[in-house]
Amino acid sequence: MSLINVAELKNVISDCRPYKHYGKVSQVVGLMIESQGPQASVGDLCSIIVSKHKKILAEVVGFRDQQVLLMPYERVESIAPGSLVETWNHPLEIKVGMNMIGAAVDSLGRPFDSSVETTGFRSYSTDNDPPNPMTRPRIQEALSLGVKAIDGLFTVGKGQRMGIFAGSGVGKSTLMAMIAKNSDADINVIALIGERGREVRDFIERDLGTSGMENTIVVVATSDQPALMRIKGAFTATAIAEYFREQGLSVNLMMDSVTRVAMAQREIGLAIGEPPTTKGYTPSVFALLPRLLERSGMSEKGSITAFYTVLVDGDDMNEPIADTVRGILDGHLVLDRKLANKGHFPAINVLQSISRIMSDLTEDPHQQAADNMRQVIATYTEQEDLINIGAYKKGSNPQVDNAIKEYPAVMSFLKQANNEHYNFMRTTSEMVESFSGGPEG
C-alpha cells in the first residue's frame, strides 16, 4: 500500500468545489468577454468551456447592466455565443515551493521546464495586502549589490524599493543581471513583463548565466500575451518573493518593466469603459501601482529589496508613470543615454539619482566621500562646455581646478564591467581612501 502524501491531499481537497455556478457567453468585443452569469465577484477566476477538451481561463474584471465582464488569460478565437462559463469561486492562486529556484515560470507560476518537480508546492494567493505599516521594521542594514556606483553613491538597504529609470537600450537588463549575480541577497525573483520573446532566453543564458540562475526564479510574460497575463506576471513575481520573505529570507525582486504593467492595465481599463486621463492612462492604473509596489519591503520575518524599471518615452523623466512611481519608491537610479553612448556602464546619472535611505545606512567617512564625488561631477558638468573649448583659465576657481583634476578618477571608479564584482566593504574603503579629501583636494 502506497503512502498518502498529506500535502497533495490537502491541495486536492482545497480544489474541490461542492457546487458550481454557470453562465453563458453573450458577447465578445475586442479584449472583453461579456456573459450572462455566473454568480461571481470581481477577481474570481472562471473557465470558459469552448470544447470537450478545452477550457479558456478568464478573470472577472467588472459588471455592466447585470452582465459579467471577463478578461481572458489566453486568446479568444475559440469562444462562441453560448459558451458555458464556470466560476471557480476564488481568485488566482499559484503553486510555490523551494524547487522553483533556478526555474523560469509563466504568469500563472507554471514552470516552462516540465522536469521541475512540483510535488509539495503550496497554494499562494497572488494578490496580498502589504505589510502592516506599524509592524513593518525600519530599514537599518545595507545590502551589498556588488555594483560600485550603487553601493558607493546610492547605498541600498535590505527592504528598500528603488526605481531604475531609462529609455530603451541604455542598459537596464544588464544592470539587473549584475545585481542578480553579485548581490548578497539569498534569492532573486526577476519578472520580465512585456519583453520580446527572443530576449528572454538571451537574458537568462547570456546576462544571468548558470551562476546567476542558481538562486534565481524568472517570471516571464512576453509582449504577445493578453494584457491580463502581463499584469498577473507582476503580481505572481511579487507573490513568489513574498512567499520566500515569509521563510525569513532576504529576497531581491526585480521587475522589468512597471511601464508595461501600467500599459496592460490601461488596455483593460479602456476595454471595460474607464475614461482615459493623463496621456490615455485610466484611473485604475494609478490605483494599481501603489497596491503593487507597496507589497515589497520589510516584514517581521524577512525582506524584499525591490528594483522596478521604468521605460521612459523619449527619455522624458516626467511622464505620468515615471512621476507616479518616483513618488512611491524609496529612491531612483536614472540611466543616461549620453553616458551609454560614451561607453560608460552602468550609465547611472549621479546628479539625477538618489537613495532616500543612504544617510541611515552609512557612516560619516563614506557619506563625505560620496558628497565629494558628487560635487566633483556637478562642478565639472556645470563648466564642461567652457573647459572643452578652452575658455576656462586655470586658477580662476579652486573648485573647478579640483574638479578638472579629480573628474577622470571619479568616472573611472564608477565604471564597471559586467563580470566584475566589488563587495560593499571594498567599494567603501576605496572611496574613502581616494575621495575623502575636501574640494581643495
- List, for residues 30-56, the tens digit of each pLDDT value: 888 999 988 899 999 999 998 878 899
Q: Which residues pair with 414 in a beta bridge?
A: none
Q: Which three cell numbers stand for residue 194?
A: 512585456
> What pLDDT, on the 0 to 100 scale, is given for residue 114?
79
- C-alpha 255/C-alpha 237 separation (Å) is 8
Helix (H) or strand (E) holding 173: helix 172-182
More confident residue, 12 or 247: 247
> What pLDDT, on the 0 to 100 scale, is given for residue 277?
87
Task: List the chain domain ranges.
Answer: 6-91, 94-358, 365-436
What's the farthest any 2 CA atoms get from each other in the chain? 92
Helix (H) or strand (E) holding 104: strand 104-105
- List, for residues 298-309, the tens digit of each pLDDT value: 999 999 999 999
Q: Is the pLDDT of residue 420 over 50?
A: yes
Contact between 38 and 110 under an 8 Å Cβ cutoff? The reply is no
Kindly report the CATH number that applies to the domain delimited by 365-436: 1.20.1270.330
User: Phi and psi for 257 in degrees, rounded to 5?
Assistant: -140, 155
- C-alpha 149/C-alpha 162 separation (Å) is 14
> What pLDDT, on the 0 to 100 scale, is given for residue 402?
93
Q: Which residues pair with 27 in a beta bridge?
A: 34
Between the two ends of the chain, the Cα-to-Cα distance in Å is: 80
Q: Which CATH class is domain 94-358?
A: alpha beta
User: Phi and psi for 399 in degrees, rounded to 5?
Assistant: -65, -40
> What pLDDT, on the 0 to 100 scale, is given for residue 152?
96
- Say which residues have a Cβ less than 8 Å from residue 74's Cβ, sequence separation at least 6: 56, 57, 226
Instruction: Please give the average per-residue pLDDT across 61-67, as a whole number.
Output: 90
Parallel, antiparallel, or unpaired: how do β-strands 161-166 and 303-311 relate?
A: parallel
Contacts 24+ apart (CB under 8 A), 396-399: 398/439, 398/440, 399/375, 399/439
Instruction: Please give the average per-residue pLDDT across 51-66, as a whole number.
Output: 89
Q: What is the DSSP string of 294-320?
A: TTSEE-SS-EEEEEEEEE-GGG-TTSH
Report the mean per-residue pLDDT for the chain: 90
- C-alpha 159/C-alpha 28 separation (Å) is 43
Contact between 302 and 248 under an 8 Å Cβ cutoff? The reply is yes
pLDDT bracket for residue 440 (50, 70, 90)? very low
Q: Is the pLDDT of residue 217 over 50?
A: yes
Q: Is the pLDDT of residue 237 over 60?
A: yes
Q: What is the DSSP string of 77-88?
A: TT--TT-EEEE-
Torsion angle of alpha carbons 264, 265, 268, 274, nearest 10°? -140
Residue 378's Cβ-count burial label (10 Å; 0-12, 13-18, 19+) is middle
Q: Is the pLDDT of residue 3 over 70?
A: no
> What pLDDT, on the 0 to 100 scale, is given for residue 31?
82
> If we measure between CA atoms, which residue out of 137, 166, 138, 139 comes closest to residue 155?
139
Instruction: Please give the average per-residue pLDDT across 161-170, as a whole number.
Output: 91
The SS3 of residue 418 is coil
Q: How long is the chain?
A: 441
pLDDT bracket for residue 8 (50, 70, 90)? low
Q: At what angle do helices 227-246 and 283-293 cross, to 10 degrees?
A: 20
Instruction: Please give the average per-residue pLDDT across 375-394, as a whole number.
Output: 90
Amino acid (1-letter code) at residue 203: F
Instruction: Please give the average per-residue pLDDT across 194-211, as a whole number.
Output: 90
- List, for residues 94-107, the tens digit of each pLDDT value: 999 998 999 999 99
> What pLDDT, on the 0 to 100 scale, is given for residue 282?
95
> What pLDDT, on the 0 to 100 scale, is given for residue 313?
73
Q: Is the pLDDT of residue 88 over 50?
A: yes
> What pLDDT, on the 0 to 100 scale, is given for residue 215?
94
Name the region of 432 (left: φ>0; alpha: ψ -120 to 50; beta: rest): alpha
- Say which residues have a Cβ less than 8 Å from residue 89's Cβ, sequence separation at least 6: 17, 21, 40, 44
Contact between 82 and 50 under an 8 Å Cβ cutoff? The reply is no
Q: Which three cell numbers stand for residue 202?
A: 538571451
> What pLDDT, on the 0 to 100 scale, is given for residue 441?
41
Kindly report the CATH number that applies to the domain delimited by 6-91: 2.40.10.170
> What pLDDT, on the 0 to 100 scale, is given for residue 12?
65
> What pLDDT, on the 0 to 100 scale, is given for residue 1?
39
Contact between 40 and 68 under an 8 Å Cβ cutoff? The reply is yes
Instruction: Please give the average per-residue pLDDT across 129-153, as a whole number.
Output: 94
Q: Which three cell numbers stand for residue 5?
A: 502524501
Contact between 128 and 245 under an 8 Å Cβ cutoff? The reply is no
User: Phi and psi for 169 in degrees, rounded to 5?
Assistant: 75, 30
- Strand intervals (E) in 197-273: 216-222, 250-256
Helix (H) or strand (E) holding 49: strand 45-51
- List, for residues 308-360, the tens digit of each pLDDT value: 999 987 667 778 999 999 999 999 999 999 999 999 999 999 999 999 999 99
- List, for residues 255-271, the tens digit of each pLDDT value: 998 999 999 999 999 98
Cα three-residue angle 183-185-188, rounded to 5 degrees: 90
